[in-house]
């Protein structure tokens, strides 16, 4: 049975009950939610069947069974106390770039025995090395926003190598047609040299997060010409 999901709202705290399907979702304030639990236990003590309780109180049958089981286990106080989880903090662009650099290296370089990253390991480095604490079930959504996934992070490890080439060499030195780098040429290089396909937008974001802009090449050229 899944956990209680807590949503934060400026006006009220809304709960989604255990096991509820989307079409049957009911929304309650904190006080109303606790009152529902009290009503379930009161009816149960009167001998009302669980399914009837579910219909009368408008609570999913799975939640009714769980609450009654907690009551029978002597956990009535726990049943009526609800701890609110903390919302995940926002991660800054600098922190995102720092996390990306960590994930594009091997986990063994950061004290792990496994060769591939897992959400649990990502959560640990976020907390220990970057100082940001995320819920475990929020790690994959965070990685997805970064264009990554725990299962394919290892496929992205050629990005630092691409970055080094772009910042130290010219396209024609890598067998490409062109004097200055652009997203299209970097994408071609990735496919040619590392057999990886990246979108131009992803390449631009990756380089920009590391302080590199394609127009920097023209500025460098102007400086050399001036000297």
Angle at 211 between CA 87 and CA 164, to 5 degrees: 115
Tell whether 18 is covered by a domain. yes
Query: Does residue 149 sit in the same domain as residue 164?
Result: no
Which one has a higher pLDDT value, 16 or 216? 216
Query: Does residue 97 sit in the same domain as residue 73?
Result: no
Tell whether 41 is covered by a domain. yes
Contact present, 98 and 62 (Cβ < 8 Å): no
Query: Does residue 147 sit in the same domain as residue 169?
Result: no
Query: Does residue 9 sit in the same domain as residue 73?
Result: yes
Q: How confident is the model at residue 124 (pLDDT cuts 50, 70, 90)?
A: very high
Query: Does residue 138 sit in the same domain as residue 166?
Result: no
- The C-alpha atoms of residue 208 and residue 35 are separated, in whole angstroms, by 52
Tell whether 85 is covered by a domain. no
pLDDT of residue 128: 92
Chain centroid to CA 183: 26
Tell whether 73 is covered by a domain. yes
Query: Does residue 52 sit in the same domain as residue 115?
Result: no
Tell whether 222 is covered by a domain. no
In terms of residue numbers, what domain contains 191? 159-217
3-state SS class at 13: strand
φ/ψ of 196, rounded to 5, equals: -125, 145
- The C-alpha atoms of residue 95 and residue 77 are separated, in whole angstroms, by 41
Query: Does residue 53 sit in the same domain as residue 33?
Result: yes
Q: 57 Cβ partners below 8 Å, 6+ apart?
A: 36, 39, 40, 43, 64
Measured from the Cβ of residue 36, the count of other Cβ atoms closer than 10 Å reads 19
Number of domains in the chain: 3
Closest by CA to 68, choosing from 101, 38, 31, is 38
Closest by CA to 204, choosing from 193, 192, 212, 196, is 212
Reported as a single tens digit per residue, the pLDDT across 80-112 is 876 555 566 778 888 888 888 888 788 888 889
pLDDT of residue 59: 84
Among the candidates 154, 186, 206, a domain finishes at: 154
Tell whether 115 is covered by a domain. yes
Query: Does residue 19 sit in the same domain as residue 74?
Result: yes
Tell whether 87 is covered by a domain. no
pLDDT of residue 26: 46
pTM above 0.75, yes or no: no
Tell whether 71 is covered by a domain. yes
- The C-alpha atoms of residue 216 and residue 197 are separated, in whole angstroms, by 24
Which one has a higher pLDDT value, 118 or 221? 118
Query: Does residue 175 sit in the same domain as residue 188?
Result: yes
Measured from the Cβ of residue 60, the count of other Cβ atoms closer than 10 Å reads 19
Measured from the Cβ of residue 91, the count of other Cβ atoms closer than 10 Å reads 18
Query: Does residue 134 sit in the same domain as residue 180?
Result: no
- Please give the mean pLDDT across all residues of the chain: 78
Measured from the Cβ of residue 184, the count of other Cβ atoms closer than 10 Å reads 12
């Amino acid at each position: 049975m899944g956990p209680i999901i807590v949503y934060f709202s400026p006006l009220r705290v809304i709960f989604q009950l255990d096991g509820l399907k989307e079409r049957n979702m009911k929304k309650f304030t904190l006080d109303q939610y606790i009152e529902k639990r009290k009503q379930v236990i009161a009816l149960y003590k009167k001998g009302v069947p669980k399914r009837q309780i579910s219909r009368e109180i408008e609570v999913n049958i799975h939640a009714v069974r769980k609450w009654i089981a907690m009551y029978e286990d002597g956990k009535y106080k726990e049943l009526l106390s609800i701890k609110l989880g903390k919302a995940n903090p926002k991660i800054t662009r600098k922190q995102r770039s720092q996390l990306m650099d960590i994930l594009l290296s091997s986990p063994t370089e950061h004290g792990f025995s496994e060769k591939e990253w897992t959400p649990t390991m990502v959560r640990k480095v976020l907390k220990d090395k970057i100082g940001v604490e995320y819920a475990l079930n929020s790690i994959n959504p965070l990685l997805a926003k970064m264009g990554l996934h725990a299962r394919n992070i290892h496929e992205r490890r050629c990005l630092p190598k691409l970055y080094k080439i772009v910042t130290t060499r010219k396209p024609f030195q890598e067998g490409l047609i062109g004097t200055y780098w652009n997203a299209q040429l970097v994408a071609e290089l990735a496919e040619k040299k590392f057999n990886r396909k990246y979108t131009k937008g992803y390449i631009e974001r990756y380089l920009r997060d590391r302080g590199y802009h394609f127009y920097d090449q023209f500025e460098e050229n102007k400086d050399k010409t001036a000297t």
